[in-house]
Amino acid sequence: MAQPRYDVLGIGNAIVDVIARAEDDFLVAQGMHKGGMALIDEARAAAIYAAMGPAVESSGGSAANTIVGVASFGARAAFVGKVKDDELGRTFAHDIRAANVAFDVTPAKDGPSTARCYIMVTPDGERTMNTYLGAAQELQPGDIDEAAIANAAVTYLEGYLWDPPQAKEAFVKAAAIAHKAGRQVALTLSDSFCVDRYRAEFLDLIQKGIVDIVFANEHELHSLYETADFETGVKALQQDARLAVVTRSAKGCMVVSGEGLEAVNAVPIEQVADVTGAGDLFAAGFLVGLARGQDRRDAARLGALAAAEVIQHIGARPAVSLKALAADSGLAV
């Protein structure tokens, strides 16, 4: 098998985040489910924007954040996702390329505008997301570059791709190409409500081995197996998945595989500013570790390090070089 061109190639919704601080009262008044991600239409997007406070715009998207994290560790990274050829689309493209990520998808010439996620960050650092998918919905199987996928050690997919109908087909196509080339496929479950919407399909992907590596947080695990019990969920996941990691915020994470369960601690921090991107960046570190041939425990440590960095500031992408941070922490990448 040829040496892969990319360590990780991510496929996901290409989104610009619009981030504002908000009180819990605001979430209640707006009928938002704290900590979740709601899909919204253009009218609701306009209403939320009009009601929310002063914001900061910052490129986001779950898998895109992960891939930027991969590049920040110094690994070779590519991203596939759809923007429109508009101001926000150019912002997204600039930011991901400036982060040393290959990004070659042709922007949509017309149709809905580039996707936006209105993120409310409450004083406890929790984020509540409202996503207008816009142009991200235009991602199609034709946007999947077979050579690029075949040349990536891991193809990483976000569960959110199940929302735009054609993106799902692109996802399945990419997974097939990756496996045909002898590469690995990873999936994040994205969000407990997303799991609620697509439970049977996600289980199918995992059980049939269409994905090799699964990332989930506790809420997503509970939703996937419709259980309130962590142990029950973990046991079921161990049955179904080749390799999985369940992230547990300050409690660290659990690496789950046929070889057993392994708990790895979180990196302690003083204060959480904004949890946006915590799971995305955990996945970045873990995948970089695997791609570089590290054992799963060390890979999880890299994940914990990247997650700790991103929750200490506003925004879902690293503010410092993760490669330098890992070196400072005595972790190899």
Q: Does 15 bind a second copy (CB under 8 A)?
A: no
Which residues 6+ apart lie within 8 Å of 109 measured at CB?
84, 85
Per CB under 8 A, 258 contacts a second copy: no
| Residue list 197-256, contact with a second copy (CB under 8 A) | none
Q: Are 135 and 155 in contact (CB under 8 A)?
A: no
254, 261 Cβ separation under 8 angstroms = yes
94-102, 104-112, 208-216, 246-254 -> range binding a second copy (CB under 8 A): 94-102
CA angle, corner 17, sides to 194 and 61, nearest 5? 50
Smallest gap from Cβ 50 to a second copy, in A, equals 8
Q: What is the closest distance, in whole angstroms, from the C-beta atom of residue 95 to a second copy in the complex?
A: 4
Q: Residue 7 or residue 17: which is nearer to a second copy going by CB?
A: 17
Q: Please tell me the distance from the alpha carbon of residue 288 to that of residue 86, in angstroms, as a whole number.
A: 32
Q: Which of 8, 9, 70, 88 binds a second copy (CB under 8 A)?
A: 88
Within 8 A by CB and 6+ apart from 304, the residues are 252, 253, 264, 265, 266, 267, 282, 285
By C-beta, is 3 or 271 nearer to a second copy?
A: 271
Size of the site for a second copy (CB under 8 A): 27
* Interface residue with a second copy, options 317, 322, 326, 331 (CB under 8 A): 317
Pick from 30, 28, 56: nearest CA to 44: 30
- Residue 27 interacting with a second copy (CB under 8 A): no
Q: Tell me the Cα Rg of the chain.
A: 18
Instruction: Give the interface segment with a second copy, choosing from 24-32, 80-88, 153-161, 167-175 (CB under 8 A).
Output: 80-88
Site string for a second copy, 38-77 (x = CB under 8 A): -----------xx-xxxxxxxx--------x---------
Site for a second copy in 114-153 (CB under 8 A): none
Whole-angstrom CA distances from 130 to 10, 66, 112, 310 are 22, 19, 17, 20
Report the relative pairing of strands 15-21 and 253-257 from DSSP bridges: unpaired
Q: Point out which residues bind a second copy (CB under 8 A).
A: 20-21, 49-50, 52-59, 68, 86-88, 91, 94-96, 98-99, 313-315, 317, 319
